[in-house]
Amino acid sequence: MYEPARAVLEILKRNKIDVVSTLPCEKICALLHLAAHDQALCHLGLNREENGVGISAGAYLAGGKPLMIIQSTGLGTLLNALMSLTVTYRLPLPILASWRGVYDERIEAQVPLGKALPKLLDALDLKHTIIEDVSQLGSVEDIIQDAFDNERPHIALISPRAWDRDEWIPAITVPQYETMRVLNYTCDRRKPELSRYDAIRIIAEYLREEAVIANIGVPSKELYAAKDRELNFYMLGSLGQATPIGLGVSLKTRRETLVLDGDGSLQMSNILPLVAEMRPENLSVVCLDNGTWGSTGDQPAPYMDVELMAFSAGIETVLRATTEAELRTILERLYEMRGPRFLHVTVKPGNADVGNIPVRAAALKRRFRVALSRAV
């Protein structure tokens, strides 16, 4: 029982895959169960497929070998992140997708995307391999090797025909139902004194050996202008992926990892519950909250109390700064506090007049990987 799934898992381990991000599909439940409970793998149960793209990018940048296991419908939601992050920076990412909508499909909603997927992937020039039955599962090894050899995504569309029909895993107890949390919280919405660029320049003063991931657009440009370092990873696209990338980095390095994220980006990704679940002690997420979509002209963003969002996600160390003095006080003792840490910095809307980053994506990737590989 479960022999096809066990065979695929052994291929993953033989190829030194060490970070596996998953979202479920009933057709591959045995593989998902085995991957989640194998001690040789760092398993992350996702809430959005796009977050797996960011986590995988971060894990690879820090020296890991990531892989995703998802349902094929998830390919429809992660394509922009895949193109703007994985493809743009030339990052390897093998994806094993349970191919729905084409074989003995009983759910009508699976059919339109499922049938269109090969042509859609062709149109985007995304490498993919179709696996029709159990005899072809060995090609998972070729898919993994191609992804890493050629620094690109390679997607396996695996038909349900490839798995035994009796591969069902009984439900397990959900652990969070057995816990209780008590929260005493006061919302403090004082008028911000700092611009985002002010805050970034202050943070840059305190940077030493941290890996830093800067949010898409102007925040990355502002960090580049304030203090360019080889340990800075500047995002040129993929809104919502700053903290997922930081999470992936933090899982594969002992180095402190700092993310400069935004309120809109964090709402988009909903990554904080996974940060809380994985509990990386070397991760700090700084939310530079200006209440707007800053890089696109300061259009108002949906309001959310991001501190309460962090608390409710399960992050225990949640901090707040509105003034320069408060920010400096926190930064001076940040790493004395237990991670993961969430720092909410309220800032005024507006973008600094800074230029574009004059470094290509692939070069940014290479220098960041090399810098991360050095001993701390």
DSSP helix/strand/coil, 286: strand
Residues contacting 74, CB < 8 A, separation 6+? 23, 49, 97
Note whether 300 and 273 are within 8 A (CB): no
| pLDDT tens readout for residues 127-139 | 999 999 999 999 9
Give the residue from 354, 2, 53, 298 showing the smallest Cα distance to 44.
53
For every residue of 323-372, DSSP letters joined together read SHHHHHHHHHTGGGSPSSEEEEEE-BS---------S-HHHHHHHHHHHH
Q: Which residues pair with 257 in a beta bridge?
A: 211, 283
Average pLDDT over residues 174-189: 73
The stretch 289-294 carries a mean pLDDT of 80
Residues 6+ apart with CB under 8 A from 89: 57, 361, 362, 364, 365
* Whether residue 212 has pLDDT greater than 70: yes
Q: Mind listing the pLDDT tens digit for each residue in 56-105?
A: 999 999 999 999 999 999 999 999 999 999 999 999 999 999 999 999 89
The pLDDT of residue 169:
62
Q: How far is CA 252 from the centre of its chain?
A: 13
- Name the H helices within the chain: 3-14, 29-36, 49-61, 75-81, 111-123, 139-149, 196-205, 218-226, 242-251, 263-269, 272-278, 306-313, 324-332, 361-373
The whole-angstrom separation of Cα 310 and Cα 270 is 10
Could you give the CA distance from residue 313 to residue 340 in angstroms, rounded to a whole number?
12
DSSP per-residue codes, 203-253: HHHT-SS-EEEE-TTHHHHHHHHH---TTEEE-SS-TT-HHHHHHHHHHS-
Instruction: Give the type of residue at 98.
Output: S
What tokens does 175 get?
A: 């652990």
d(CA 216, CA 199): 16
Contact 124, 81 (CB under 8 A): no
Average pLDDT of 178-182? Answer: 70
Question: What domains does the chain contain, in order, with CATH numbers?
Answer: 3-162 (3.40.50.970), 196-373 (3.40.50.970)
Determine the residue type at 180: M
Asked if 54 and 238 touch (Cβ cutoff 8 Å), the reply is yes
- Is 80 exceeded by the pLDDT of residue 171? no
pLDDT at 305 over 70: yes
Distance CA 266, CA 318 (A): 15
Average pLDDT of the residues of the chain: 93
Place of tokens 């700084």: 286
Q: What are phi and psi of 334, to 5 degrees?
A: -55, -45
What is the rounded distance in angstroms from the CA atom of residue 344 to the CA atom of residue 194? Answer: 13
User: In the chain, what percentage of residues exceed pLDDT 70?
Assistant: 95
190: pLDDT strictly greater than 90: no
Over residues 162-173, mean pLDDT: 64
| pLDDT band (50, 70, 90) for residue 174 | low
Residue 302 DSSP label:
P
Residue 70's pLDDT is what? 98
Residue 257's pLDDT band (cuts 50, 70, 90): very high
Q: Decide if 59 contacts 86 (C-beta within 8 A).
A: no
